[in-house]
Structure 1
Amino acid sequence: MSLSNDKVKQYRTIGHDLNPVVTIAGKGLTENVLAEIDRALEDHELIKVKVSIIDREARKAAIAEISAKCSAQTIQEIGKVALFFRAAKKPHPKKSNIR
């Protein structure tokens, strides 16, 4: 799944105003956290995730794992916050962050 540069720019703009819907902390990336991220992507399509892991390499690995396991595209990484996109199978107009 590859997005055009225009779409990536549009999603970054939308993502600027979003708050993180999931925070990954001490226990790391568990199955429950992945399930919640998957549910949030299905509902909202574009989500922010806060990865509160101190080690930079571990944080990047967790972001890559989220992207792979949830079939989502990483739109942007800034510090400890990552923006992910995955098109919903049945988008709900009131829940979706994509305008």
Structure 2
Amino acid sequence: MLKNKQRSYLRSLSNKMDPIFRVGKEGITDNFLKQVDEALEARELIKLAILKNSFYTAREASDAICKELKCDGVQCIGSKFVLYRESKKKPRIELPQV
């Protein structure tokens, strides 16, 4: 569980990021979750977008993915959301201590 200071730090890191995945009309499939899981392991912090033809809102998609992959939702704004999970093999992002 992220603290407010840590969440704020991760939001600042994600400001200039572009979404690397988009949730569309097919929704959140097993293959999609596998790709997001691999990206979280490699990058730790990723931004995703919701397409207009999706049946999910950004908050719903973020909650569903976080539940499945045991990651933290950092931010949801409009049709974009940011996820974070510390890498098990090689952590890259050092969170501020609270």
Q: TM-score, normalised by structure 2?
A: 0.84
Residue 62 of structure 1, CA deviation: 2.0
Distance 2:37 2:75 in 1: 18
Unaligned runs of 5+ residues in structure 1 are none
Q: After the TM superposition, which segments of 4 or more aligned residues of structure 1 sit over 3 Å from their partners? A: 53-56
Distance 2:34 2:71 in 1: 13
Distance 2:76 2:26 in 1: 21
2:17 alignment partner in structure 1: 18
- CA deviation string 1:8-49 (max 9, x = no partner): 111000000111111111211111111111000000000001
Q: Tell me the amino acid that sits aligned with residue 83 of structure 1.
A: V
Q: TM-score, normalised by structure 1?
A: 0.83
* Mapping 1:60-71, distance limit 5 Å: 60-71=59-70
Contact 2:23–2:54, Cα closer than 8 Å, also in 1:
no
Aligned alpha-carbon RMSD (Å): 1.8
2:89 alignment partner in structure 1: 90
Q: Tell me the amino acid that sits aligned with residue 6 of structure 1.
A: K
